[in-house]
Structure 1
């Protein structure tokens, strides 16, 4: 039996930091090591996995395909290590955490995971920002947010920790009766919303006429409009409220394209409180809506 290879967390931490901060010098500054020491650690990790992990693209340092595959595991291993150390060392959990949520998820998480986290960690102040996913990604890159939950436009994206596949559903008031002779009355978030584009694509593909009768940035206003019979929309099962029902394909509403949802953060920038919140989110994200399925790393 071949000997098992152990991947030291200090090497994995260095690898993550180089990728997420964009170079050996920035990683060295963040970790308190010299640039040659960082290079040696990356070399040692490449020896252990027997693969090149980083490549130069102009001035940028990017992970190779092997590096991309390792990155998912590395982030999880280092996060678990840091959460364990935090537990036994009773690391201080305080300060401000800036969380970015897409509008559709805001209700479910504010009422559950985030409120529970605040109750258990009264010294932490949460700042919640709800926006389109594309804006949340920009804010994370600019370090205006600490962690985000957002939709993904590709299977691999920077700062990804976990991802899920979700099936959006058509939602209408219980009393809604489709009228094939009239355009479908749509309620939607602003242009750029992934749910909006999926509704339009599905109806166009089925040659169904439609018109947007309600537009707004908040989930509550959209839910009210649906409950009152003003429009129909695409939602997650978690945001389907009493007084609403799911519309079926045999009523003329084609299946909507799935969404990939991700949990993103820059590990080198995250505090002990942030790491604890990530663990809470990882434990609870899978329970948000029956259409959510975990996608394993790699």
Structure 2
């Protein structure tokens, strides 16, 4: 079988059309005519033997194969551009706007960003912590350059890496589940992926529950659990001393995995952004934590929840 090589310039055109939502805008960015952009997309479809885009409506939509290729393309181009940047000794000067979810491993990512800053003091960073539901629209509006966020179902545009985290039920050391008529839950506000999974799991086994503590901060939930206000769902990354894990034996069913992704637009990306994306992913690889159940650097994502 003859190997098929995908030209990086064609992949850049493909991502530019996706990121800008227009063949014409992609052409203006890349210095090509709209027919030339269309020709490159057709060439790419011929190379992979699949239809990648549906342009029959007002907006450009990706087919399933197009979504998969977009993720691969972002990863490959990020690696390609980092290699070139390092070999050419390009400076990582720039101001990066990074979005982190305040309900997921904030401390871990803050440490990763702090380590990057030590390696690249010439890079300035502005960090926005919010819920995934707020961060992703900000990313779509180009208000953030790199975002780590949780999602369910089909991933939003710009996904470059994805992995799964397995949440666990936790409680204070002296919590007694059998003494409660309804499970007291400490949770983030409505819309939180952890909250949804806790409620859904308890409803499925007919176990009554009530929200006894609500906070947008993961630190607030950790303190609430330690103080005995209720149980919550965390990952082993955010488990603190004095907490204990609740299992089926305690009457708490396993919780479904949470899908997490890093979102990044290659189009117009700076050297600093490319280096930071790969630094964060290397930090995740090096973490070696047991709840980090699947990291897909060059692979497709399972949509199961």
Residues 21 and 297 (structure 1), Cα distance of their counterparts in 2 relative to 1, 3 Å cut: farther
**Residues 64-98 of structure 1 deviation map (CA, whole Å, 9 limit, x = unaligned):** 33322322221111111111011011222122111
Does the aligned pair in 2 maintain the 1:169–1:256 contact within 8 Å?
A: yes
Tell me the equivalent position of 2:290.
Answer: 290
Bigger drift between 197-206 and 64-73 goes to 64-73
Tell me the equivalent position of 2:4: 5
Aligned runs of 1:15-94 on 2, under 5 Å? 15-94=14-93
The normalised TM-score by structure 1 is 0.93
Matches within 5 A, 1:124-143: 124-143=123-142
| Distance in 1 (alpha carbons) for counterparts of 2:27 and 2:83 | 24
Runs (5+) with no aligned partner, structure 2: 301-305
State which drifts further: 225-234 or 114-123: 225-234
SS of residue matched to 1:179: helix
* C-alpha distance in structure 2 between counterparts of 1:288 and 1:100, whole Å: 23
* Whole-angstrom CA distance in 1 between matches of 2:223 and 2:71: 39
Find the residue that maps to 1:263 and give its secondary structure. Answer: strand
In structure 2, the residue matched to 1:116 is 115
Q: Is the 8 A contact 1:30 1:268 kept in 2?
A: no
Give the number of aligned pairs: 296
Comparing 270-279 with 150-159, greater Cα deviation is found at 150-159
Question: Could you tell me the TM-score, scaled by structure 2's length?
Answer: 0.91
Q: Give the Cα separation in 2 of the matches to 1:33 and 1:92.
A: 28
Query: Kindly tell me: are residues 176 and 281 of structure 1, through their superposed partners in 2, closer, same or farther at Cα, counting changes over 3 Å?
Result: same
- RMSD of aligned alpha carbons: 1.7
The answer to whether the 8 Å contact 1:46/1:52 transfers is yes
Q: CA deviation digits over 1:111-137, x for unaligned, max 9? A: 2x1111111111112222122211111
Show structure 1 runs of 5+ residues with no match.
Answer: none
Q: 1:74 to 1:130 in 2, by over 3 A?
A: same
Distance 2:75 2:260 in 1: 17
Which deviations, in whole Å up to 9, do the C-alpha atoms of 1:238-260 show, x marking residues without a partner? 00011111111110111112211
- Indicate the residue corresponding to 1:230 in structure 2: 229
CA drift at 1:140? 0.6
